[in-house]
Amino acid sequence: MPVIEIPVGPQHPALHEPILLRVRVRGEEVVGVDIVTGYNHRGIEWLAERNTWLKTLYIATRVCGICNLMHATCYVQALEKLNNIKLPERALALRTIAMELERLHSHMLLAAVMAEILGFESLFMLIMRDREKIMLLKELVTGNRVLSDYVWPGGVRRDIDDGIVEKIKRALDYIEKRILYYRDVYENDKLLRLRLEDIGVIKYNEALLYGLVGPTARASGVRIDVRKDTPYAWYDEVDFNMVTRKEGDCLARVLVRLEESLESIKIIRQAINKLPKGPIAALRIPPRTFRPGEAISRVEAPRGELIYHVVSRGGRTPYRVRIRTPSFTNILNSVFAYRDATLSDVPVILASFDPCISCMERIMVVDERTGEQRLEPIRKIVRKRR
Amino acid sequence: MLKLARELLKNLLRRPVTIEYGVKAKPNPTKRYRGLHIVNPDKCISCSLCAVECPTGAIKMTEITYGGKKKKIPVIDYGLCVFCYHCIDICPRKAYNISNEIPPPVFKRALLRGDPREPKPWRTEEV
Ligand code: SF4
Ligand code: SF4
């Protein structure tokens, strides 16, 4: 039987985001997948070098809509390292609460989108309805349901009062019940199991070998979580478990996320119960210049480890801001997960990595003669072609 | 499966959670929502800090006659504004009035202007 190539995407292959999967199939069976990105490149790092330190904060926030607070916090943490700013306890606790709210809604989104891709529209609607409760909490804490613009160098920008704490507690009780229920649905529904179990298996050593991060790696049994490995914000003050599973299939990746949502609820509860009193920022307004030097900051985003490398030469603009997003490794390095799948499984496997396309628009250059692959900035390629 | 069926039946009797934005209803944000904001010319000292630092360049310092005197105040283009509230948080005089109103749907972007001279600057055309 001949091998034919089917393009999946670039318009909305699984999620409503632009990415192209070139799937080679023999009959129904997938024999190879190439991932083509670049439909969403916005030159964020280039922009960062040309805007002031604080304007770059708002650009970093807009790298990704779903984990915008993670990007902002990661960038701000790097700046705080540069200027050696010590944060008050309350600011750290509030950051932790806001970040966990973000993880909660991101994980629920994946569970919902997964149901939609499997053709289970009513489950999608139900999860999205309950997710709206968390968006409301995020709006109460940060000021907007999606783009939080909540942190800046020195602390956070808004305080919460007892009324909001009460609302968070009440909403979390409800959400906890619902997440337990959805976990039950994913674990026990026969149709969902048929579509998810033993599909797109990633083994433990493969996850290690290809450097997968976040829930995708944890679903294969790899114990990797920045919150545990190098605690930032207030994560060393709260008690939570790292969720791992052994199976490494699509179902495990969904269940790890749902169980992590329960851990997030636990973290938020602890943080609001022992919320320290005091100021919410170390400085009234953030500094406009930062000392020369470089700083690396790591944050566990909903999809995995997020790294910002900020280089400063003093002055009003950053010299270099390098962003390394989790989706970048998770999507580009996981083509092997599609082996032995059928064509209809391809969107399911892609969605189970919870891809964030806007996070992974980097350029990969493949040298056809030597087969060598390397990452290059656009500018260099443009220069070469001239 | 049975459990879910019960849930779905219950939902049949409920009102829809979604709203028809711009047609029948407006979203109803909480009090803490970062909505339309506008400068209070009495408090503003025309330092231009907000216009310089606005990440999208939505603020233009405009000369107006206020209380018989010429004065430069920031006028906001809500079409460009991303509602980050940086201008509000860094203003040395806390000169901005804030609200939780969402920018209304309009046909012309020029209508979305935060100009304190107009009685209600985010007033929309009757559509
Ligand atoms: S920062 Fe405040 S005082 Fe300065 S121009 Fe803007 S509104 Fe006026
Ligand atoms: S809220 Fe942000 S984008 Fe809007 S005018 Fe103020 S600084 Fe500019």
CATH code for position A138: 1.10.645.10
What are the C-alpha distances in Å from A76 to residues A73, A229, A360, B75?
A: 5, 20, 21, 29
Residue-level pLDDT at A170: 92
Structure tokens at A120: 């289970």
**DSSP-derived secondary structure letter, A330:** H
The pTM for the full model equals 0.88
Ligand with smallest separation from the Cα of B97: 1
Residue-level pLDDT at A378: 47
- Give the separation between CA B92 and CA B44, rounded to whole angstroms: 9
- Residue A311 included in any domain: yes
pLDDT tens sequence across B82-104? 998 999 989 998 888 888 888 87
Q: Is A139–B17 a contact, with Cβ atoms under 8 angstroms apart?
A: no
Q: Is B85–A149 a contact, with Cβ atoms under 8 angstroms apart?
A: yes
A163 versus A38: which is more confidently predicted? A163
- Residue A9 included in any domain: no
Three-state SS letters, A96-116: HHHHHHHHHHHHHHHHHHHHH
Nearest-Cα distance to chain A for B101, in Å, is 12
**Which residue bears the tokens 């400063």?**
A312
- Residue A350 included in any domain: no
User: DSSP states of B53-119 as a string?
Assistant: H-TT--EEEEEEEETTEEEEEEEEETTT-----HHHHH-TT--EEE--PPPPP-S-GGG-EE-TTSS
- Residue A342 included in any domain: no
- For the residues A323-332, what does the mean pLDDT come to? 84
A116-139 burial: b if 16+ Cβ within 10 Å, else e? bbbebeebbbbbbbbbebbbebbb
Which of A167, A94, A158 lies closest to A136, judged by CA? A167
Instruction: Give chain A's domain count.
Output: 1
- Mean pLDDT (chain A) is 85
Domain that holds residue A136: 50-324
**DSSP-derived secondary structure letter, A140:** H
- Residue A181 included in any domain: yes
- Residue A237 included in any domain: yes
Which of A281, A321, A284 lies closest to A91, judged by CA? A281
* Residue with CA at minimum distance from ligand 2 atom 8: B54
Residue-level pLDDT at B123: 46
Helix, strand or coil for residue A138? helix
ipTM of the complex: 0.84
Nearest-Cα distance to chain A for B48, in Å, is 15
Residue range B30-117, CATH number: 3.30.70.3270
Q: What angle do CA A52, A58, A62 make, to 5 degrees?
A: 135
- Give the separation between CA B86 and CA A189, rounded to whole angstroms: 48
Nearest-Cα distance to chain A for B115, in Å, is 23
Based on C-alpha coordinates, what's the Rg of chain A?
Answer: 21
Question: Which of B2, B12, B17, B30 to substitute to test the interface with A, most A CBs within 10 Å?
Answer: B30
- Rounded to the nearest angstrom, the distance between the alpha carbon of B83 and the centre of ligand 2 is 5
Residue among B4, B33, B86 whose CB faces A139 most closely: B33
- Residue A40 included in any domain: no
Residue in chain B closest to A190 (alpha carbons) equals B1
- Give the separation between CA A258 and CA A263, rounded to whole angstroms: 9
pLDDT tens sequence across A50-109? 889 999 999 888 888 888 999 999 999 999 999 999 999 999 999 999 999 999 999 999
